[in-house]
Structure 1
Amino acid sequence: MIHEVDEALRLLLVEGGVQEGGVELVFDPPTRDWAARRNVPTISVFLYALREDAARRQVGWAEEYDADGLVVARRSTPHWFELAYLVTAWTNRPQDEHRLLSAALRCLVASDALPGRLLTGTLARLGLTVGLRTAGPGEGAPSVSDVWSALGGEMKPSVDLRVVAPLATDPELAAPAVTDGLLLRTEDHLPAPESAAARAEAGPARRLRYEGAEPRRDGFAAPRERPLPPGRRRRGGAPR
């Protein structure tokens, strides 16, 4: 799921024209050594925190269907996680960095969710909304100053980006649909005790097939007359 969110963010920024003019788009941590090796304008989208959104946790099962509408698998409801990214721009001049970071910010705030056309893999198959919150309150994750301290670099302008995405669980295959009829064997009497030799002597079983038959509430059994309690009578008939 994490790599699928990375890919969706990359496609979103590319569509917004952020990579025009030879700008590189990377997901590397902006450490001091990394920054010293930069020689082209770069935007870093660094994932620095990941936590489950417990408020969205649900209990239950979701079913998957094939083209004929039959259940083929069941999976538990997905877990939701919040991914925190630190978006920064790197050039030789602060003015150029601000211009590049502004272009990324304009692209990210254009929507509250990642467009469905950009989702791949399990995110695309689930068909759920992947939320996007840009430069919002930084709750439930390390502060930006703590992140810069851990990276060993000096603070610089950055955008705090949060993505809320579902993590699909492994499916459990459903039992195949029953398509064969009932096995039925008729005998004048039941051998006692029944043995393999007795079953062989009775002959092969026959399989009932219900071609053209429609099941009723009580199955495929033929309708039958049900006796009435003493003293009761059917409509239009004499007491029984």
Structure 2
Amino acid sequence: MFHLVDKALKELVTGILEKAEFSPSQIDVDFKAPAENTAPQACKIMVGLYLYDVREDLTRRTSGTIRSADPSTGKPIEHDPPRYARLSYMATTWANSPLEEHEVLAALHTEASKTTLLPVNFPPEITALDRQAHLTVATPTTEDRVLTELWSALGTPLRPFLSFTVTTPLLSFTRLTPAPTPRKVRLTAQAEPKPKPPAIGRPADRAVLGGALATVSGTAEQDATVQVRLDGHDLGHAVRASDRSWSLSLESPAGAGEHKLTAEQRTRDDGPWSAEASCSVTVLGKPVITPPKDPNQWSGTLSGTVTPDTYLTVEIRSGHPSPDGALLGSQAPSTDGAWTVTVPKENLTPGTRYVLYACQMGEDAQWAVSDPVTVTVQRENPDPLVTLTRPTRVTKWQDFDVSGTGVFGQGTVTVENKVDHHPGWASITEELEVDSENKWAGRARGIQKGKRTLRAVQTINGNDTYSEELEIEVKA
């Protein structure tokens, strides 16, 4: 029985010191007698709980007969009253300095004095009697001489301590005779089981969606009717749960923004609506790209905004919205939704035009995609990848020679003439091959007289790369 009191005291002391903001790894509680060479480990606080006296508390001894339930059978039994023992503990502290020891003693004294009961995990025989252990802290003792002799016997200089006195019932009583079983008659009405509340399973609470909120589903009581509301507005649809599951498709999907869903059920057609469940969900808005100051001399840095307070990564993709476009770079947005992505230079080709999209994928695997932005990567040196040599003489509607440079091993080169109608440029050559010396040449179809603008274009690494535009005079 005493070991149960030891365990309860240790838990009490540890809990008080943790509440006083001492780290659990610093605390060491033992039950050894204090000795002169006692010392805690480095950065540790040791509390010693030395049980120095055990005696019966005669003031609590009683006589007579007590009735209780047999823990093993539940049947009533009679026995004599339990006796009580008074356990006296000497609580000493050992730390790195006397001040720290005093701080520990003060915390133990203050907090332990707030209760008169010690929660001991008694065996069922004691628990059935509804008896408890009582705790007193730092009460004046009448055995001063005994304590002085105790310190001398331990061979340890006197040091401050707290007295912990625990009065505990003992498992010392003797069973007498089985108690007569009283005859009881109880009339009860079986209560109708309380229905379990409904639950919203999809979307999950606090979910962030890339696409519009179009479907809500979850669970409810078997054959219950479920009513769903969006942002406080009745959706006008009640669905009957089958196998405890239900689903509802929204006639008008919820768009960008924060939304609150609620679901409530009733288990009878004429019963009340009850047991409400709720969840919140965020639908991503369209990301926004801030157009570069000079899109024809793009340095590789792009910025913009997305829906605030979303942790989903912003991806910059080229050529097509995700997931088909080429991933150039990514960055997590700040809490206000601002983001900036600097694309690594090795992912870009100087002089090449890119069609860029900012994308975020929601937890529903749907993408929120920005409007496209077209940029041309600035060249790091003056030598262009694709050039067009100025033709010497061009006469209207007569074919003429064209030539220039490109990148060997990449796509073919075509020459384009700027026109006034859509799409703005028209090809005037066949596809011309670039030789191993990075040169190309061919014949262009005749064009109308007057001032005309020409350029050459080659597909390099999957992206269209253009030469400088040449303005020529077409003779009559």
For these two proteins, the number of residue pairs brought into alignment is: 174
Shift of 1:84: 0.7
**2:50 is aligned with 1:54:** no
CA 1:66 to 1:49, structure 2 compared with 1: closer, same or farther past 3 Å? closer
Q: Which secondary structure does the structure 2 equivalent of 1:131 belong to?
A: strand
Determine the structure 2 residue equivalent to 1:120. 122
CA 1:125 to 1:48, structure 2 compared with 1: closer, same or farther past 3 Å? farther
Determine the structure 1 residue equivalent to 2:3. 3
Shift of 1:161: 1.5
Determine the structure 2 residue equivalent to 1:132. 135
Q: CA RMSD in A?
A: 2.9
Deviation sequence 1:75-111 (CA, Å, 0-9, x none):
3211111111100110121111111111221221111
Deviation sequence 1:174-220 (CA, Å, 0-9, x none):
45989xxxxxxxxxxxxxxxxxxxxxxxxxxxxxxxxxxxxxxxxxx
Q: Of the candidates 157, 160, 177, which is equivalent to residue 157 of structure 1?
A: 160
1:138-177 maps to which residues of 2 (within 5 A)? 138-139=141-142, 143-169=146-172, 171-172=174-175, 174=177
- C-alpha distance in structure 2 between counterparts of 1:63 and 1:88, whole Å: 42
Deviation sequence 1:144-175 (CA, Å, 0-9, x none):
32221121101111001111111122553745
**2:75 is aligned with 1:76:** no
Shift of 1:37: 6.8
- C-alpha distance in structure 2 between counterparts of 1:77 and 1:153, whole Å: 41
- C-alpha distance in structure 1 between counterparts of 2:128 and 2:27, whole Å: 32
- C-alpha distance in structure 2 between counterparts of 1:89 and 1:166, whole Å: 28
Shift of 1:14: 2.5
Shift of 1:125: 4.2
- C-alpha distance in structure 2 between counterparts of 1:154 and 1:53, whole Å: 30
Higher percent of residues as helix:
1
Conservation of the 8 A alpha-carbon contact between 2:136 and 2:166: yes
Letter in 2 for 1:108: A
- C-alpha distance in structure 2 between counterparts of 1:104 and 1:144, whole Å: 21
Choose 1 or 2 for highest CA Rg: 2
CA 1:24 to 1:177, structure 2 compared with 1: closer, same or farther past 3 Å? same
Using structure 2 for the length normalisation, give the TM-score: 0.33
- C-alpha distance in structure 2 between counterparts of 1:125 and 1:38, whole Å: 43
| Structure 2: segments with no counterpart, 5+ residues | 182-476
Conservation of the 8 A alpha-carbon contact between 2:57 and 2:85: yes
**2:96 is aligned with 1:92:** yes
Q: Which secondary structure does the structure 2 equivalent of 1:16 belong to?
A: helix
- C-alpha distance in structure 2 between counterparts of 1:123 and 1:29, whole Å: 30
**2:17 is aligned with 1:13:** no
- C-alpha distance in structure 2 between counterparts of 1:56 and 1:141, whole Å: 24
Q: Which secondary structure does the structure 1 equivalent of 2:135 belong to?
A: strand
Determine the structure 1 residue equivalent to 2:202. none
- C-alpha distance in structure 1 between counterparts of 2:6 and 2:172, whole Å: 19
- C-alpha distance in structure 2 between counterparts of 1:96 and 1:136, whole Å: 23
Conservation of the 8 A alpha-carbon contact between 1:4 and 1:123: no
Q: Which has the higher contact order (CA 8 A, sep 6+)?
A: 1
Conservation of the 8 A alpha-carbon contact between 1:132 and 1:162: yes
Q: Which secondary structure does the structure 1 equivalent of 2:131 belong to?
A: coil
Conservation of the 8 A alpha-carbon contact between 2:14 and 2:27: no
- C-alpha distance in structure 1 between counterparts of 2:15 and 2:127, whole Å: 18
| Structure 1: segments with no counterpart, 5+ residues | 179-240
Determine the structure 2 residue equivalent to 1:236. none
Shift of 1:142: 6.1
- C-alpha distance in structure 2 between counterparts of 1:63 and 1:142, whole Å: 43
Q: Which secondary structure does the structure 2 equivalent of 1:59 belong to?
A: coil
Higher percent of residues as strand:
2
Letter in 2 for 1:2: F
- C-alpha distance in structure 2 between counterparts of 1:61 and 1:142, whole Å: 40
CA 1:18 to 1:31, structure 2 compared with 1: closer, same or farther past 3 Å? farther
Q: Which stretch of structure 1 is more off in the superposition, 12-21 or 55-64?
A: 12-21
- C-alpha distance in structure 1 between counterparts of 2:100 and 2:55, whole Å: 33
Q: Of the candidates 93, 102, 106, which is equivalent to residue 102 of structure 1?
A: 106
Conservation of the 8 A alpha-carbon contact between 2:17 and 2:104: no
Using structure 1 for the length normalisation, give the TM-score: 0.62
Q: Which secondary structure does the structure 1 equivalent of 2:50 belong to?
A: strand
Conservation of the 8 A alpha-carbon contact between 1:75 and 1:169: no
Q: Which secondary structure does the structure 2 equivalent of 1:144 belong to?
A: helix
Letter in 1 for 2:88: A
